[in-house]
Amino acid sequence: MAPLSYPKSVRLHHRKAFQALLDSGNTHYNAVYKVFWRLSEADAAQGGTAGCRFAVSVPKRNFKRAVKRNLLKRRTREAIRLNRACLPEGFAADFLFFYRPAEVLDYAVIEKAVIETFGAVAAKVAASDAPAPQTSLLQDESNE
Question: Would 14 be classed as within a structural domain?
Answer: yes
What pTM, to 2 d.p., does this model score? 0.81
Q: Count structural domains, the chain.
A: 1
Angle between helix 107-129 and 66-83 (nearest 10): 50
Question: Would 138 be classed as within a structural domain?
Answer: no
Per residue in 25-80, pLDDT (tens digit) is 899 999 999 999 999 865 444 444 458 999 999 999 999 999 999 999 999 999 99
Question: Would 17 be classed as within a structural domain?
Answer: yes
Question: Would 87 be classed as within a structural domain?
Answer: yes
Question: Would 60 be classed as within a structural domain?
Answer: yes
- For residue 103, give its domain range: 8-129
Question: Would 137 be classed as within a structural domain?
Answer: no
Question: Would 135 be classed as within a structural domain?
Answer: no
- Please, what sign has the CA dihedral across residues 85, 86, 91, 94? negative
Q: What percent of the chain has pLDDT above 90?
A: 61
Distance from C-alpha of 62 to C-alpha of 102, rounded to nearest angstrom? 5
Q: What pLDDT sits at residue 4?
A: 77
> Which CATH number goes with the domain that contains 45?
3.30.230.10
Q: Give the E-state strand segments of 21-138 in sequence order.
A: 26-29, 33-39, 53-57, 93-99
Q: What percent of the chain has pLDDT above 70?
A: 81
